[in-house]
Amino acid sequence: MTNNSEREWLFIKKIQRKEPELLQSLPRLIARLNSNQSKTNSLQKQLYNVQAGFSGERYIDRYLESLEVPISLIVLTDIHLTLTPGNSFQIDTLILSDRFLLILDVKNIAGNLHFTTNPNQLEQTLSTGEETIMDCPLDQLKTHIYVLQVWLAKRGINVDILGRVIISSKSGRVKEAPENAPIIYRKGLPILLNEMAKLPVIYSQNQLSEISNVIKQSKVVFNPFPLCRHYDIDPTDLKRGQLCPNCFNSMIYKSHKQRQCTSCGLIEPNNYQESLKDWFILVNDSISNRECREFLQLNNKDDAYYALKTLHLNKTGNSVSTRYHWPSGKPFM
């Protein structure tokens, strides 16, 4: 048996992680939402959580990339899989090696953290004294391990999966947790990986390739669009027309080429493309000429037809039944 000092030490390959589409689309919903303070606050909190989650994941990605480890590792990210029709699950990070499969659930949470039981939950206390109760990350980790095992077993791949909750925030401090809970700080990663490198080899390279390929080929795209449906918002609560980039109020039609903000007076070129994208992101995956006139606050159907042509949309139907569709698979951003 080769010991650690005789092994070749390897760097982990650059980790690819896609930025969540909600990072760019949620601000557009918040900007268009008319005065509904409770809903706006809820969406802003959701946006903060998405930003914090992605930031924490990328922080751990960069840290992993800086490490030298005595075994070869495959790191998969953004794993979104369908367990049963209408029932999907998402895993932040999965590390594959010939010795183990390891799920990393990254939590970018600051403050004093108490992992309590009966019921299982996470209690966070910030330096300001603000307290928040969250779902238990340990329960979430157990669920992720279980559903991934079930998903792989359905494809004839029976494996054991390990997992850790990683506190990525430098100001996060675990003050209470169950004994031997699988929780580590970022700096505990190299120790963990070096210890796990001592485990016996249980998977061949062909088996690892099979696991990696079946996951990659089966990944589905998380699609929360249109956001009004996803967040149970009435589209009539949205601001119409082109929004001012300064104050996010609706701009009025000034000429065929310009709009003016009624609040701050800013004059901007007509930006049909971005306003129409808001419709597809927020309201519906198709639009009619009449809906375009109403949403963009245009004067006539010719102006709407011109606006619709700027996006190169797919077209179905004829005459008044014509609808324009966002091309399937084309990203909004």
136 or 8, which is more confident: 136
Q: Cα(first)–Cα(last) distance of the chain, in Å?
A: 52
Q: What angle do CA 81, 84, 88 make, to 5 degrees?
A: 35
* pLDDT for residue 1 is more than 60: no
Give the model confidence (pLDDT) of 128-145 as tens digits. 999 999 999 999 999 999
CA distance 172 to 109: 6
At 6 the pLDDT is 54
pLDDT band for position 299 (50/70/90)? confident
- Per-residue 3-state assignment (H helix, E strand, C coil) for 142-169: HHHHHHHHHHHHCCCCCCCCEEEEEECC
pLDDT band for position 305 (50/70/90)? very high
Give the model confidence (pLDDT) of 71-115 as tens digits. 999 999 999 999 998 899 999 999 999 999 999 999 999 999 999
* pLDDT for residue 259 is more than 50: yes
For 215-239, what is the mean pLDDT? Answer: 94
pLDDT band for position 255 (50/70/90)? confident
For 287-303, what is the mean pLDDT? Answer: 93
User: If you average pLDDT over every residue of the chain, what do you get?
Assistant: 93
Of the candidates 152, 24, 35, 156, the one whose C-alpha atom is nearest the C-alpha of residue 83 is 152
Give the model confidence (pLDDT) of 34-73 as tens digits. 877 789 999 999 999 999 999 999 999 999 999 999 899 9
CA distance 19 to 26: 13
Q: What does each C-alpha distance from 204 to 96, 157, 212, 315 come to in angstroms?
A: 11, 13, 12, 50
